[in-house]
């Protein structure tokens, strides 16, 4: 059977530079699929480390998405991460903060399985890294609110519960392993990698909040050592930490 989306296959195979070229070709050859190909190109550029080039594409896709779907977060999480990766940290913080506020206030209703945990974890990390006490407090209160709801049991919820002191690290690790085993066997490694990326990132953030920078670097390094989980964008932030330490 003919492969109908070779660019996507290259992307999921972590062959990001080839995926960039393939998505550019698909954009030219199939204008009816502009938005899916443009989103794929932006994601491939992120994977290839071309964050500055990814930003305007993500912004275009984000505007299109939020215009067509009320309650969508668009691509703001990725946009924030890309700004952080190119050193535009204050802008990155401002973007993720507004996203957290929009989820908190009900303006964004399409979130991760846990109700918006990923944005809270990223805000907490950016806040403590930039020594913004107000942003750390906002993130922690936001995560505490999410932790009071049933959806917190879904990943990346257990990572937030660990950060909040509701689970030990060992309990969260066991949860990740057990939950991954409920998925189809062919997908188990990918799901476990996603869960561990969130947990290691939360653990690094928790250690930084505690003033244990050595511990923070260790956990960020563990996160970055995982194969890119593709849709857990905190992995890129951990990668930047690992690169700065090397």
Q: Is 170 helix (H, G, I), strand (E, B) or coil?
A: helix
Domain with 226 in it? 49-245
Distance separating alpha carbons of residues 68 and 71, to the nearest angstrom = 10
Answer whether 197's CB lies under 8 Å from 223's CB.
yes
What is the model's pLDDT at position 1? Answer: 41
Distance separating alpha carbons of residues 99 and 152, to the nearest angstrom = 18
Distance separating alpha carbons of residues 97 and 139, to the nearest angstrom = 8
Q: Give the count of beta carbons closer than 10 Å to the beta carbon of residue 155.
A: 26
Domain assignment present for 15:
no
Domain assignment present for 55:
yes
Answer whether 168's CB lies under 8 Å from 126's CB.
no
Percent of the chain exceeding pLDDT 70 equals: 98
Which tokens hold the place of 197?
């990326």
Report pLDDT digits (tens) over 121-158.
Answer: 999 999 999 999 999 999 999 999 999 999 999 999 99
What is the model's pLDDT at position 246? Answer: 66
**Domains in the chain: how many in total?**
1
Domain assignment present for 40:
no
Domain assignment present for 17:
no
Distance separating alpha carbons of residues 143 and 177, to the nearest angstrom = 23
Domain assignment present for 116:
yes
Domain assignment present for 144:
yes
The average confidence (pLDDT) of the chain is 96
Domain assignment present for 18:
no
For the segment 194-216, the average pLDDT, to the nearest whole number, is 98
Domain assignment present for 43:
no
**CATH code where residue 194 lies:** 1.25.40
Distance separating alpha carbons of residues 44 and 28, to the nearest angstrom = 17
What is the distance, to the nearest Å, from the Cα of residue 130 to the centroid of all Cα atoms in its chain? 19
Which tokens hold the place of 26?
């698909």
* pLDDT of 52 higher than 70: yes
Report pLDDT digits (tens) over 62-113.
Answer: 999 999 999 999 999 999 999 999 999 999 999 999 999 999 999 999 999 9
């Amino acid at each position: 059977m003919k492969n109908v989306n070779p660019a996507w296959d290259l992307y999921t195979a972590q062959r990001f530079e080839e995926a960039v070229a393939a998505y550019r070709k698909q954009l030219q050859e199939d204008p009816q699929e502009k938005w899916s190909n443009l989103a794929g190109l932006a994601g491939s550029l992120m994977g290839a480390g071309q964050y500055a080039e990814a930003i305007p594409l993500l912004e275009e896709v984000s505007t299109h998405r939020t215009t067509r779907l009320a309650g969508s977060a668009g691509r703001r999480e990725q946009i924030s991460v890309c700004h952080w990766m190119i050193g535009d940290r204050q802008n990155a913080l401002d973007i993720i903060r507004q996203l957290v506020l929009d989820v908190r206030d009900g303006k964004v209703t399409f979130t991760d399985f846990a109700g918006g945990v990923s944005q809270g974890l990223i805000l907490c990390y950016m806040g403590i890294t930039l020594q913004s006490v107000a942003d750390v407090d906002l993130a922690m209160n936001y995560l505490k609110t999410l932790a009071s709801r049933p959806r917190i049991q879904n990943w990346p919820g257990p990572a937030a519960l660990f950060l909040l002191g509701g689970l030990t690290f060992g309990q969260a690790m066991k949860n990740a392993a057990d939950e991954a085993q409920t998925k189809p066997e062919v997908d188990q490694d990918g799901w476990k990698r996603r869960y561990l990326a969130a947990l290691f990132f939360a653990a690094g953030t928790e250690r930084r909040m505690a003033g244990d920078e050595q511990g923070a670097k260790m956990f960020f390094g563990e996160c970055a050592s995982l194969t890119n989980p593709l849709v857990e964008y905190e992995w890129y932030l951990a990668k930047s930490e690992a690169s700065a330490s090397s």
